[in-house]
Structure 1
Amino acid sequence: MANLIEALRFLPRHYGRLARAEAHLLPDDYYSPGFITVLASYLNHKGVRQDSVAYASEENRGYLAAVGLSKALWGVDDYKFERKNAGINYSPLTPLASQDAVDLATEQINDCLRAYAKQGNVDYSNSPAFRDLMRVVGELHDNVWSHGLSTGYSMAQRQAFGKSGDHVIEFSLADCGLGFLGELKSSGMRNIESHEDAIKWCIQEGNSSKKAQAVDDWAQSVPNDFVGESPFGAVPIRAAGNGNHHQGLGLAKLVELAKKYQGVLHLASGNCALRMSHHGVMTYQALQAPWKGVAVSLTIKESSFMSAKAAEADDADNVDDIMKLLRG
């Protein structure tokens, strides 16, 4: 499977120069959401043209057309069929290019997640794990736009997990913005020097680059999406609002979610990538080609959602039993 880490290894080698004229084959493999969001963000950042992307097979081309790669990147929808499974098995690739687009992406992915939660005889829509996932999706969307200062991309997908009869849900997003270390430096933090340390700091509960950033109450207000030199000369400026509805980057909640429900998490920024296994073991690895920005993917089995729902039901039964005993 071509996942997020594979994309981080492959893309700089084959699309490392800006808008190369020659086409390069994408790997002939199954593309996970992690691979697709990194691919889209990288091609957009590098300004790669549509005709510079070649496909190893028509199956690969058709799959990326179905999830909307060309539509999201170049504004050309090259999929000629009805997307019958959109919103059922996957959410189309969505650019996070403005606050309105971010809100739309959150709505689309969470609508898709709700559809996943009620497939056939399966219903884990009231699972606490599932509710946690939907909250984290919204928080990460808002903060990637707020902190990334560039267009990011996100998507989600449901697929069978081997021959077990179980399914997994993968949610991913990526951008080519400042990255964790760049964001912390811009917020005034000078004591963190490496990308690995920046990741470790950002995933700690209670840490937020917003807290490190001083706000000048006398600064002139500009729109959230303002880019460019100050129209007020030497007078400092600040955004009229914080550009999102949450605090921090949502990463501590993401890590907690992965650990609590046996998810597999990939998180990359700069020259470092974090992987958390379904056992909760964290490992860090160096990236030969640094990733300018942030890339995240989380994969969780549906059986974990069902187990969390069952555990909550057992807790409720235990509370009922205790209350009956107290009432005598």
Structure 2
Amino acid sequence: MITVRVLSIALSMGALVGALAPRAHAADEIRREKLAVFVLGTSEKDAELADNLTEVIIGAIAHRRGVEMAGREEFRARLGVESEQRAQACIDDLACLGRAAVSLGVRRIVAGTVGMRGKQYLFNLNLNNVETNKVENHIFRLIEGGVSDLIPAVQAATEELFRPRVEPGRIQLTSTPSGARVAIDNAYLGVTPLISGTLLSGKHKVRVEADGRFPWVSAVDVVPGQDLGVNLTEANLPRRRSWPKTAAIGSASLAGLSFAAGGFLGVLSQLSPSGETRAAAQDDFLQKQRFSDAANIAFVSGAVFSVAALYFVIRYSEDIFGRSAEADETN
């Protein structure tokens, strides 16, 4: 049977862990933290499996120096739950678990459930702190395979359960002007004033944009369990002038028209004079000379407009094209 195999493997692995566990001195025993383990099956047929995995968890915890385990049967008796249904109700109730824990001097309780769904094992474990009345950590696992896969997964989950949990932090953003758009790690969150959702500790890329202004981009370091306040002023979101772009486009357009007009007039000025009389031919010659002068003026104007457009592009490049990502992050 599966439960018999679980028991045999659990006891053998528990014995191995116990043999390797360091012996504490008498002075250490006084300072030992006392823990209890309470695991139930999700159904009656999983009850024996839950008892066997309780031994696996106790064995995984036993090697921790300075930890003393409360007896499984003693703890269950102190709970005062006669039926499996009442035990299931108690396992999710810290007050219920706490009453038994206090009477045994237990500070923290590993409580959870285990069961089978087809060919899969499901288990979840909570590390409950009786003193603070809080769940310090929670683990859920879905295991494919047999008993040989389940036991190491439970042992690894037990170790993970006792690792310090890193509390998330948040970022609180305000800006002048308000209503600026906020994105954190390239995900749009909303407009200022804004409090982000929980974020893992460490650096996060924050981008704040407002209409008619340059964006503010920075790598913000989020501290575990704290709200980081970021207040952006108008200096952080400087105005982006719109007229340089209009001036550059207008100058470039006028330059293009001037060169086109100059080319057209230049072609007309190169035509041979014509006329039925000498006077008519002289008038046509003078007209073509005027076309030539106008073409020269158009070319000069085109050059002036081109220089003006180039000046606007160079002098006001950030206003026209926006800032580069590197420039944004330095502002």
TM class by shorter chain equals under 0.3
Q: TM-score, normalised by structure 2?
A: 0.25
Q: Which has the higher helix share?
A: 2
Higher RCO (CA 8 Å, separation ≥ 6 residues): 1
Instruction: Work out which of the two has the higher radius of gyration on C-alpha atoms and give 1 or 2.
Output: 2
Q: TM-score, normalised by structure 1?
A: 0.25
